[in-house]
Amino acid sequence: MTANPQWKEQFSCFDLVAKTAECSRTVVHVGGLAIGGDSFVVMAGPCAVESERQLLETAEAVAAAGARVLRGGAYKPRSSPYSFQGLGVEGLKLLSKARKQTGLAIITEVMSEEHVEVIAEYADIMQVGTRSMENYSLLEALGQCGRPVLLKRGMTARLEELLRSAQVIAAAGNPEIILCERGIRTFETATRNTLDIAAVPVLKTVSHLPVIVDPSHAAGVRSLVPVLARAAAVVGADGLLVEVHPAPEQALSDGMQSLTFDEFKEMMRDLRRYVPIPPILEGMRPQLLVAGGTH
């Protein structure tokens, strides 16, 4: 425990997720995929599932470029009640269709306890958003959901608080947790959030859980996403969660930070210089090579 000696006192608050001599690394298995193992796992897709065409085209493009998990919100946490709220169960069905078509595993956000069961039916990984990191009844329900959980850092949460929330899920019975740094709120306004890149080595030092980075919500603009992704790869992250859209300017949410297919492919090409990523499949049906989800 070298990252922060002051944490010694609070250590018992996250002892289930803390790194020890007996438990130094958790590898989360999703179908044939290992997150937190030796390869770098890229999860990519639109902010929100908008239509069958939007999702399937994106799934094919990101799979061909080397992503192994498809992201897409069916239930969206929006700051305005008048913004697009997501397609709900219809969106989950489209995600499931995309999995069948491409072999990609599926990650999607769960905002409320009452949706845990239905989302677990369709998703391979349950995403807890930044606004829900302290929703303890949701975290407890996820302890029994039978699926791995990707836990995003609250936008004003300390790393210790993130680990406490992970502990709640683990204590409720689910040790399959992936931590995600997605930028925090600071006085800086040039970026949507401030990517706390040091969070990666700190979390990897004190916890046995896999750590991934979401450069999209940190940046807020697509031009910064590839370089933040590279920083994440270099600093030791186990993977990425990235927003990609067939026509970002028409996206119903987070278009400004979504990469085009070409930009995503280019980013993956760059990342291959630093971390092991599956090869680009030019003109090949991705489902022939991808390990697939858990359904």
- Contact at 8 Å (CB) between 128 and 155? no
- The DSSP string of 164-220 is HHHHHHHHTT---EEEEE--B--S--SSSSB--TTHHHHHHHHBSS-EEE-HHHHHS
Largest CA distance in the chain: 55
Nearest approach in angstroms of CB 273 to ligand PEP is 26
Q: Give the residue with the Cβ less far from ligand PEP, 16 or 111.
A: 111
- Contact at 8 Å (CB) between 169 and 149? yes
Nearest approach in angstroms of CB 186 to Mn ion is 19
Residue of 254, 277, 286, 290 interacting with Mn ion (CB under 5 A): 254
Q: Give the residue with the Cβ less far from ligand PEP, 25 or 185.
A: 185
Nearest approach in angstroms of CB 246 to Mn ion is 15
Determine, following the binding rule CB under 5 A, whether residue 47 of this chain makes contact with Mn ion: yes
Residues numbered 196 to 215 that lie near ligand PEP (CB under 6 A) are 214
Residue of 115, 164, 182, 208 interacting with ligand PEP (CB under 6 A): 182
Q: Residues 113-152 vs ligand PEP: string with x where CB under 6 A?
A: ----------------xx---------------------x
Record the tokens describing residue 62, joined without a space. 């990101």
Nearest approach in angstroms of CB 198 to ligand PEP is 18
Count how many residues are written for the chain.
295
Determine, following the binding rule CB under 5 A, whether residue 50 of this chain makes contact with Mn ion: no
The contacts found for 1-4 with CB under 8 angstroms, 24 or more apart, are: 1/205, 1/206, 2/205, 3/201, 3/202, 3/205, 3/206, 4/202, 4/206
Residue 30, CA atoms < 13 Å, CB-side half-sphere: 29
Determine, following the binding rule CB under 6 A, whether residue 217 of this chain makes contact with ligand PEP: yes
Q: Give the residue with the Cβ less far from Mn ion, 103 or 248.
A: 248
Determine, following the binding rule CB under 6 A, whether residue 73 of this chain makes contact with ligand PEP: yes
Record the tokens describing residue 37, joined without a space. 């193992």
Nearest approach in angstroms of CB 58 to ligand PEP is 14
Nearest approach in angstroms of CB 216 to ligand PEP is 8
Q: Give the residue with the Cβ less far from Mn ion, 146 or 220.
A: 220
Angstrom CA distances, 262 to 76, 160, 188, 245, stand at 26, 38, 30, 10
Q: Which residues bind ligand PEP (CB under 6 A)?
A: 47, 73, 77, 129-130, 152, 182, 214, 217
- Where on the chain is the footprint of Mn ion (CB under 5 A)? 47, 254
